[in-house]
Amino acid sequence: MLLVHGQKTWCVAKPSSDQATLLANINYACSQVDCRVMQKGCPCYSPATLINRASVAMNLYYQSRGRNHWNCDFRSSALIVMSDPSKSHMYLS
C-alpha cells in the first residue's frame, strides 16, 4: 500500500463539483474498474448521494491505479484525503 508521509490516502470528489461532472466521473471510473460495491445492498451503496457515489467510484479507480496523484484528478474535480471518508460524516448529508 502506498503511503504519503506514512498515511493511507483516498480520492474523493470535491464538494464544489457539479452534478454533470460527478456523473461523468462515475461513468469514467466505472468503465475502468468494477463498481459493484456501489450496488444496492452492498457496503458502499449508502448514503446514495451523488457526491458519495462519485467519491466511491473515483476512489476505486485511484486505488486500482496505484494511488498516484495523477489518478485522482478527474479534471480538477477531486481531492486526495488522508482520513478514511467512509469513517467521516463529510458525505452523509
Residue 5's pLDDT is 52
Q: Which residues pair with 24 in a beta bridge?
A: none
What's the half-sphere exposure (Cβ side, CA atoms, 13 Å) at 61? 25
pLDDT in tens, 18-58: 999 999 999 999 999 999 998 888 877 777 899 999 999 99
* pTM of the entire predicted model: 0.84
State the Cα–Cα distance between residues 1 and 32, nearest whole angstrom. 20
Q: Which three cell numbers stand for residue 90?
A: 463529510
Q: In whole numbers, what is the pLDDT of the chain averaged over residues?
A: 86
Residue 90's pLDDT is 47
What's the per-residue H, E or C state across 22-69?
A: HHHHHHHHHHHCCCHHHCCCCCCCCCCCHHHHHHHHHHHHHHHCCCCH
pLDDT in tens, 68-79: 999 999 999 999
Interacting residues of 89 by C-beta distance below 8 A, sequence separation 6+: none
